[in-house]
Amino acid sequence: MKRGMLTLVAAFSVLAMFRPLAAEYKFFAPRGSFTVEISLENTDRLRLPIYRNAITSLTCIGDYAIGGTRANEGLSPFLFAASLSSRSLEVVLDLAEVLPGQRAIQSGFGRVENVFYAGTMPDKEGSSGHLIKVQFANKRFEVTDLGEPVKGEGTFALTADSSLNMLYGISHPSGRFFSYNIQTGQVQVYEETAVTERQLAYYHHYALEPEDFLSRALVVDKSGRVYGSRPVNSVFRFSPQSGKIETLKDELPIVWGRRPLGRVDSWALARDGTLYGGNAGDGQLFKIAPLTGKLTNLGKPIMMPRLVGLAFGCDGKLYGVAGALPGYAHLFVYDPNDSGFTDLGNPKFPLHVPEIAGELPWRGFQIATVAASEDNRYILMGEDESLSQLMVFPVK
């Protein structure tokens, strides 16, 4: 009896000894999470081919995740729709079929009722990107070319204000802010956010290109004002009432010496109207109180730069992805009520491939986009790889 107890104690001691080692292998793998295979080279299945599938724009309508991709040079991007209930890719559209000469849909989607809008990046430098209207109905995409908002430039970021029927964007490479009236098609371009010659010289010292310093996302607050970042490390606010752009007094949070890297990577609008943003430069989460324009640095969820996506879950918590090359993604959650971060770690969700095996474990390393389902019960993450997949997890 005594001997048996001793064996038991010894066995538990050995197990306890192994616990710290095993802990490093815990990935974020909540029950009900899944990966949808969006990309696969050389297949008869409906999949996107290699080097044309980085999921750089992502949103959701009903049961469908809607994505826009970025391609490598000389290749065209896709629009795709994946069903969350069947966990499969169901519709794809090669953008070149309706709008040739484009390389990426990376602006993000603006939504007005059930219609999505996006901006494209041209394949050739000096060519023009276009605004596109995307309708998805009866498992079919209908894309309308709305023209070139800024001649000779692409659209780097885009958002929509459904109450005013307006689109707002940032052009690439100049960084101009523009508005587009959906009803009239009228475009207004504003110079205030454009990078100046002096700023270009400053960025040159840091080997930065427009892709590195332009605002990657725009957001509209509850009173219709539009926010984004502008060189250097500043946040601007556009008022559609006055037609004026102001620069907020508070800069984006910095880590000493890395100020030039600051720009907005992502936005999320809370129910109470607070704006939450991610700073690409050092991966800080921050918030802006729209009434005062005060910016508060909430800190860094992980040690890496970038904070590529944010979305609120139905639990009222903010989910985000921090980290990118040369590291890789950590999913984190921020609870505005207790002001705390939890690093959920690297996501690992099952990929359903019945023809090969039941499920293949899939890890997300490079993530480009984060979105929530319409009911905020699912958080979606779009990968940024040579063969990118869609990763989805339920909010408990």
Partner 1 sequence: MREIRIIIFMALTLILTVFGMLSAEVTRKNIRFVEYPDFPDAHSTWSSIGYSKVHQKVFIGVTNHRDKVGLFEYDVNRDRMRLCGFLPELVNLRDFQWQGKVHSEIIEGPDGCMYFSTDGGESREEYLMNHPHGYGGGFFFKWDPAEERLTKLGYGMLYESIKDITMDRISGRIMGVSYPQVHLLVYDHQKNDLRDLGRVGSDHVPRVLFSDWFGNMYYVDWRQRLVKYEHDTGKFLFSRDSLPAFEGTPGNRVITGITACAEDRANGVIYLVTYGSKVVAFYPARLGFGKMEDLGGIYDGDPEVRQPYDYYCPNVALGDNGMLYYFIGGHGSYVDGEERNVLMEFDLRKKTKRMVLSFRLKEISEVTGSGVKDEGGNVYFCGRKRDPGAEMMGESGASKPFMIIFNPTKEIAP
Which residues are at the interface with partner 1 (CB under 8 A)? 21, 24-25, 40-44, 50-51, 303, 326-328, 346, 348, 350-351, 353, 356-363, 365-366, 385-387
Residue 366 beta carbon to partner 1: minimum distance, rounded to whole angstroms = 8
Nearer to partner 1, 5 or 356 (CB): 356
Residue 90 beta carbon to partner 1: minimum distance, rounded to whole angstroms = 20
Residue 49 Cα distances to 17, 77, 140, angstroms: 46, 10, 20
Nearer to partner 1, 176 or 306 (CB): 306
Task: Specify the DSSP class assigned to residue 196.
Answer: P
Residue 54 beta carbon to partner 1: minimum distance, rounded to whole angstroms = 10
List strands edge to edge, sheet with 110-112.
110-112, 115-119, 131-137, 140-145
CA distance 28 to 346: 6
CA distance 94 to 387: 16
Query: Residue 278: which of 323, 220, 244 has the closest Cα?
Result: 323
Backbone angles phi, psi at 176, to 5 degrees: -70, 145
> Angle at the Cα of 159 (from 56 to 364), degrees rounded to 5?
25
Nearer to partner 1, 24 or 197 (CB): 24
Residue 38 beta carbon to partner 1: minimum distance, rounded to whole angstroms = 13
Residue 350 beta carbon to partner 1: minimum distance, rounded to whole angstroms = 7
- Are 307 and 294 within 8 A, CB to CB? no
Residue 383 beta carbon to partner 1: minimum distance, rounded to whole angstroms = 9
Nearer to partner 1, 340 or 361 (CB): 361
Nearer to partner 1, 59 or 366 (CB): 366
Write out the two tokens for 74: 């000389």
Residue 70 beta carbon to partner 1: minimum distance, rounded to whole angstroms = 13
Query: Residue 302: which of 276, 326, 329 has the closest Cα?
Result: 329
Longest dimension (CA), the chain: 87
- Are 169 and 178 within 8 A, CB to CB? yes
Nearer to partner 1, 202 or 328 (CB): 328
Residue 26 beta carbon to partner 1: minimum distance, rounded to whole angstroms = 11
Nearer to partner 1, 37 or 153 (CB): 37
Residue 331 beta carbon to partner 1: minimum distance, rounded to whole angstroms = 14
> Angle at the Cα of 123 (from 121 to 124), degrees rounded to 5?
115
Residue 130 Cα distances to 102, 143, 333, 393, angstroms: 8, 12, 35, 33
Nearer to partner 1, 82 or 391 (CB): 391
Nearer to partner 1, 41 or 191 (CB): 41
For 242-261, b/e burial (b = at least 16 CB within 10 A) is: eeebeebebbbbbeeeebbb
Write out the two tokens for 120: 């494209």
Query: Residue 102: which of 126, 131, 76 has the closest Cα?
Result: 76
Nearer to partner 1, 21 or 201 (CB): 21
Nearer to partner 1, 264 or 322 (CB): 322
Residue 118 beta carbon to partner 1: minimum distance, rounded to whole angstroms = 24
* Residue bearing tokens 């430039």: 153
Handedness of CA 185, 152, 52, 344 (dihedral sign): negative
Residue 365 beta carbon to partner 1: minimum distance, rounded to whole angstroms = 5
Task: Specify the DSSP class assigned to residue 376.
Answer: S
H-only helix segments in the chain: 2-23, 197-205, 210-213
